[in-house]
């Protein structure tokens, strides 16, 4: 009788161990792709919220997720654009719901999060993709404190507010995944992006701190250090017309791979090299990046006799970095 009572406990322990080993294996860069299932297996029947879903990376990601069988919740400011993307998802056989929200307004974010829980019950996967980038040197920002306030509002406070509302339900259900779209700039310490990088660094630090708290409840956090992507967000910076970039579809592939494998982070080789270089020789990296700062001036700044050929050569060597 004692053995009979112990058997279920041993079985639970065995299954728990297998699950833990598989989850650990998925976080190993090489083994993760082998042990993880397909995207269809990862998202079929799941409710996935994507912010910034009306264009660019968000739109491309939503289409991929819809094709794979997910129920996608589209979040952005403009209802008309969201409806157009939702119609495309549905036209391809997917399921999509539109949830307009001004993510720069924390009260509206709170309304959105509770609206989603009321209508859908829970969110399985949250993709914090919406973001605001500002390319401006600090000497042009002395009287522009509002730049830092605006980037923090959208890039940090909005995703944190969403997580604070959605996380309790994820933890109660024993399952959840949060994917934060960050930037390669955090790894390379790109100049001219102090406002943008600071807001992304804050979100990164928040996620790294809560990660150990929630992993025991089956909730995973992944940060994608995204390289430069040709989206409407970078369109005003004309110099990027000459730089190599990812397409939104290639960026969406990085996001969906993050969802499929659930690693701690997704990054490019160049980004990881930049992070390592700064850890070993931060002063030397500053000197190299200062050269890039001079190679790629402000939109109306002098070129310091720099040739386009030199710019192209440096851009190829640092592919994906938003100088």
What's the CATH code of the domain at 282? 3.40.50.720
The C-alpha atoms of residue 115 and residue 119 are separated, in whole angstroms, by 6
In a domain, 172, yes or no: yes
Residues 6+ apart with CB under 8 A from 322: 133, 135, 183, 184, 185, 190, 193, 227, 228, 234, 240, 243
In a domain, 57, yes or no: yes
- pLDDT for the residue numbered 299: 66
In a domain, 148, yes or no: yes
- pLDDT for the residue numbered 4: 42
- pLDDT for the residue numbered 245: 73
In a domain, 2, yes or no: no
- pLDDT for the residue numbered 239: 61
Task: Per residue of the chain (323 residues), give pLDDT as tens.
Answer: 444 444 445 555 455 555 555 555 555 544 445 667 899 999 999 999 999 999 999 999 999 999 999 999 999 999 999 999 999 999 999 999 999 999 999 999 999 999 999 999 999 999 999 999 999 999 999 999 999 999 999 999 999 999 999 999 999 999 999 999 999 999 999 999 999 999 999 999 999 999 999 999 999 999 999 998 877 666 555 566 656 678 999 999 999 999 999 999 999 998 999 999 999 999 988 988 888 888 877 765 544 445 677 777 767 777 767 76
In a domain, 3, yes or no: no
In a domain, 219, yes or no: yes
In a domain, 150, yes or no: yes
Q: What values do phi and psi take at 100, rounded to 5?
A: -65, 145
- pLDDT for the residue numbered 307: 62
| Alpha-helical regions (H) of the chain | 2-26, 32-35, 39-43, 56-67, 79-91, 106-120, 145-152, 158-173, 185-188, 194-214, 248-261, 269-280, 282-295, 308-317
- pLDDT for the residue numbered 309: 74
Q: Looking at the 3D structure of the chain, how many domains does it have?
A: 1
- pLDDT for the residue numbered 296: 78
In a domain, 298, yes or no: yes
Measured CA to CA in angstroms, residue 113 lies from 74, 101, 106, 141, 276 at distances of 12, 10, 11, 33, 37
The two beta strands, 95-100 and 71-76, are: parallel
pTM of the model: 0.84
pLDDT in tens, 56-85: 999 999 999 999 999 999 999 999 999 999
Domain that holds residue 270: 13-317
- pLDDT for the residue numbered 316: 74
The answer to whether 196 is a known catalytic residue is yes
- pLDDT for the residue numbered 49: 98
Three-class SS state of 204 = helix
**Of 142, 148, 196, 225, which one is the catalytic site residue?**
196
- pLDDT for the residue numbered 82: 98
Measured CA to CA in angstroms, residue 321 lies from 239, 240, 255, 318 at distances of 13, 10, 18, 6
Residues 6+ apart with CB under 8 A from 94: 63, 65, 66, 67, 69, 70, 72
Contact present, 311 and 296 (Cβ < 8 Å): yes
């Amino acid at each position: 009788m004692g053995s009979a009572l112990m058997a279920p406990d041993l079985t639970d322990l065995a299954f728990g161990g297998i699950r833990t080993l598989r989850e650990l294996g998925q976080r190993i860069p090489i083994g993760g792709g082998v042990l993880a299932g397909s995207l269809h297996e990862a998202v079929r029947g799941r409710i996935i919220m994507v912010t910034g879903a009306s264009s660019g990376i968000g739109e491309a990601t939503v289409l991929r997720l819809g094709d794979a069988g997910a129920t996608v919740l589209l979040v952005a400011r403009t209802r008309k654009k969201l409806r157009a993307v939702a119609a495309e998802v549905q036209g391809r056989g997917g399921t999509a719901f539109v949830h307009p929200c001004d993510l720069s307004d924390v009260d509206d974010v709170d309304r959105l999060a509770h609206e989603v829980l009321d209508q859908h019950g829970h969110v399985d996967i949250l993709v914090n993709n919406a973001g605001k980038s500002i390319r401006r040197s600090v000497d042009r920002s002395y009287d522009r404190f509002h730049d830092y306030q605006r980037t923090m509002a959208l890039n940090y406070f909005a995703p944190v507010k969403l997580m604070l509302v959605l996380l309790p339900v994820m933890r109660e259900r024993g399952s959840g995944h949060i994917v934060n779209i960050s930037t390669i700039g955090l790894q390379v310490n790109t100049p001219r992006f102090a406002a943008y990088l600071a807001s992304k660094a804050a979100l990164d630090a928040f996620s790294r701190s809560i990660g150990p708290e929630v992993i025991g409840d089956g909730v995973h956090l992944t940060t994608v250090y995204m390289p430069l992507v040709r989206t409407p967000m970078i369109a005003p910076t004309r110099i990027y017309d000459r730089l190599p970039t990812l397409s939104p579809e290639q960026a969406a592939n990085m996001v969906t791979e993050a969802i499929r494998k659930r690693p701690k982070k997704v990054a490019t080789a160049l980004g990881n090299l930049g992070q390592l270089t700064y850890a070993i020789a931060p002063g030397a990296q500053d000197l190299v990046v200062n050269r890039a700062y001079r190679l790629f001036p402000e939109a109306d700044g002098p070129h310091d006799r720099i040739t386009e050929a030199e710019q192209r050569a440096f851009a190829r060597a640092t592919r994906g970095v938003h100088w």
